[in-house]
Chain A
Amino acid sequence: MSEIIKTDVVIVGAGPTGLFAVFELGLLDIKAHLIDILPKPGGQCAELYPEKPIYDIPGFPMVTGQGLVDNLMQQIEPFGPTFHYNEMVEGLEVLGTPEAPAFRVRTDGGKVFETKAVVVAAGGGSFQPKRPPVATIEAYENSSVFYAVRKMEDFRDRTVLIVGGGDSALDWTLNLHPIAKRIILMHRRDDFRAAPHSVNAMRELVASKQMDLLIGQIAGLKGEDGQLSAVSVKTADGVVDVACDRMLPFFGLTMKLGPIADWGLNLHEQLVPVDTEKFETNAPGIFAIGDINTYPGKLKLILSGFHEAALAAQKVHRYVYPEKKLLFQYTTSSTNLQKKLGVS
Chain B
Amino acid sequence: MTKITFIDAAGQSRTVDAEDGSTVMETALKNAVPGIEAECGGACACATCHVYVEESWVEKLPKAESMEEDMLDFAFDVRPSSRLSCQIKVGPALDGLIVTTPEKQG
Contact = CB atoms under 8 A, between A and B. Distances in A.
A-B interaction: yes
Interface of A: 48-49, 52, 124, 130, 132-133, 164-166, 187-189, 191, 193, 217-218, 251-252, 254-255
Q: Say whether chain A's binding surface is mostly helix, strand, loop, or mixed.
A: loop
B61 interface: no
Interface stretch (B19-27, B40-48, B90-98): B40-48
A254 B39 CA distance: 9
Contacts of B46: 48, 254
24 contacts: A48-B40, A49-B40, A52-B43, A124-B39, A130-B106, A132-B76, A133-B77, A133-B104, A133-B106, A164-B73, A188-B73, A189-B69, A191-B69, A193-B73, A217-B77, A217-B78, A218-B76, A251-B74, A251-B76, A251-B106, A252-B47, A252-B106, A254-B48, A254-B106
Query: Interface residues of B toward A: which range?
Result: 10 to 19
Interface in B37-66: 39-40, 43, 45-48
A130 B76 CA distance: 10
A169 to B, nearest CB: 9
A332 B73 CA distance: 49
Contacts of B77: 133, 217
A187 B45 CA distance: 19
Interface of B: 39-40, 43, 45-48, 69-70, 72-74, 76-78, 103-104, 106
Given A49-B45, A130-B106, A191-B69, A255 B39 contact: yes
A49 B40 CA distance: 9
Nearest to A255: B39
Q: Which 9 A-B pairs have CB atoms at the shortest separation, nearest pair first?
A: A252-B74, A133-B104, A48-B45, A193-B70, A165-B73, A130-B106, A188-B78, A251-B74, A133-B76
B43 A48 contact: yes
A35 B76 CA distance: 31
A269 to B, nearest CB: 14
Contact of A187 (B43, B73, B103, B104): B73
